[in-house]
Each structure stands twice: as C-alpha cells, then as structure tokens.
Structure 1
C-alpha cells in the first residue's frame, strides 16, 4: 500500500509541475496559412518546455517538422514528421529550436514556415505573481479552414494555467487519491 501511495503522490506532483504550460494557436485566428505573418507571430511569444502548439489548417496545406538546413532552403523531401489532418497539436517537450514548414514547397518559399525557440521551464513565477489571462476569451474558428472542427479555439494568450489554481488542483487530486487508497 505504501508503494501505491508513493506512485500516486508522484503522479500528482508531476501534474502540479506541468500546470504552467500554455497552448498557442499558431497564427492566432489566421491559423497555419500562407497569409499569416508567422515570423512576427512567433517573435511576440516565449515558448517553454511543456507548452503546446496548435496548428489549424485547410486541406491545401500540411505541416512538416524539419531540420534547420531544410527549413532554410524549404526542402520538403527530408522531413522528420508530417501531419495532414488540419488540426495538429505539437507538444514542446525539450529546450531547443524546432522548425516547421508547409509541405507545399511554394508555400514554404512564400513564408509559410515557423521557427520556435523553446526555453527550459526552470524559472516558474512565484505563487503570488500575476498569471497571463485570455485576451478577449476565445475565438470562433475561421470559416476558411474547412478541415477544422467547428469548435471554439483558444487564443495564443489563453489556456495558461498556473499559480494558486494549479496548487489547489494538485492538492485536491492528492486528497482524492488518498481517499481512494484508503478504501482499497
């Protein structure tokens, strides 16, 4: 039983440590599209380990993760990963630079590519520090993205969790786990 308590405690602690993650809608309401200024969009963000990138795109596009040299030349023949479903979420799991391009080389050459610099998530704000809040709530999905679900998409500033709420959720999870362990 002590092992079970230890395992569940570690799970709850792990959840608490990931509560400062943010989900970024790439390109905001324009999405992953040739008309979006992706360089400017990315420069206004700070990406850290644990964040998620949400790519929304139509069937005329795809998403490919590539190496730097392929990013620079828009080489779409040597890709690490390819996504084509129109609704792709990419977790940022380690620090470093990630490179994404549209699988249509002409679109890539036209600027449809994204470089994301991922920082280590060591410097979490103190519990009393102000947390980022959604900028105007949520946006409805652009109608030009026909492959996307008709659901609500969070803005890039939204979906940020942290601080006191995260600690409360971790504590409640721990208490629920303890009740469950005692009953078993």
Structure 2
C-alpha cells in the first residue's frame, strides 16, 4: 500500500498536469462585433486581421426569427444556394459554433435574399492557439479570450505542495 505522503504527491502531480493542459487559450469571436450577424455585416472587412484557430468559437447574435446560420460548402457559398448541402444549421439567435478543424469554413443566412445581400462569412481556421485579438475599442467588441491564467498559479501551487510533501 502506498504511503499517504506518496498519494498526496501523486494527486498534486496529477492536478499540476491537468492545470497545465488547460493553459491552451481559445478565443470566442463575436461575428459582426456589436452589429452582430446582419446583412452586409462583412462589408467593413470584419475578418481582416483576425486569426481563427482550432478551439476558437464563433458567436452569431441576431434576431431569432430574422436570420439563420448555415455552414455550407464553397460552391453553395459562392452561389448563395439556400437549398444546398448544409454541414451545420443554427437558428436560436445566439449560436456558438466550435472551430474544430483546420481549413476554410463558409457560412450563410438561409433567409431569402439575405446571402445575396452580403450575409455570408468565410474564415480560414489555422492549427494551434489563436493570436491575441485586437484591442477593444469603445464601439466594437473585442474577442473574448479564454486563457486559464489561474491554472498556472494552481499548477505552481500544486508543484510547490508536492515538493514540500516529498521531503
């Protein structure tokens, strides 16, 4: 049977590893910033300067009955094909889409005329942690970064406790 001190050291080490694993950061991008998911939202180049990464999320905010979000393929995106193959569909008015693979992702609104009026979005998702988003400005929302800063402190405390108990 393990000595109680060994059990405590083992548990502290497990906690430290778990905390360190959670240090990877992810960003939640509010599509369209304060204007939300709306016609012509991307005319100002909403994606310019943004680096989307696996693990990030897109948050689509819009009037529940006014719009939808559909993930589609490149050809359906280009043609604004509302009847095409949908790889995902959301219509709650507050949708969070996980970016779980690399490559291009295409989104459109499936309400008639909306895609043709500019309510469409293409992003290129990269591997790895996303770069910090732009600094917040008074008239737009900055991406929300979720970094487990407290996890570093917890991991450090667990390692100190493990070292102290080992002696």
TM-score under structure 1 normalisation?
0.68
Kindly indicate whether residue 105 of structure 2 is the aligned counterpart of residue 82 of structure 1.
no
Q: Which residue of 1 aligns with 2:62?
A: 57
User: What are structure 1's unaligned runs of at least 5 residues?
Assistant: 126-130, 140-154
Q: Note if contact 2:71-2:106 (Cα within 8 Å) is conserved in structure 1.
A: yes
Unaligned runs of 5+ in 2: 1-6
Whole-angstrom CA distance in 2 between matches of 1:61 and 1:104: 6
CA distance in 1, matches of 2:112, 2:89: 14
Equivalent residues of 1:5, 1:178 under 8 A apart: no
User: 1:27: Cα distance to partner?
Assistant: 0.8
- Partners of 1:94 and 1:47 lie apart in 2 by 11
| Deviation of 1:99 (Å) | 0.7
Change (3 A) 1:171 1:38: same
* Matched position secondary structure for 1:110: coil
TM-score (norm 2): 0.73
Q: How many correspondences in the alignment? A: 152
Structure with greater Cα Rg: 2
Please tell me whether the aligned partners of residues 75 and 105 of structure 1 are also in contact (alpha carbons under 8 angstroms): no
Which range moves more in the overlay, 75-84 or 30-39? 30-39
Change (3 A) 1:178 1:104: farther
Name the Cα RMSD after superposition.
Answer: 3.1
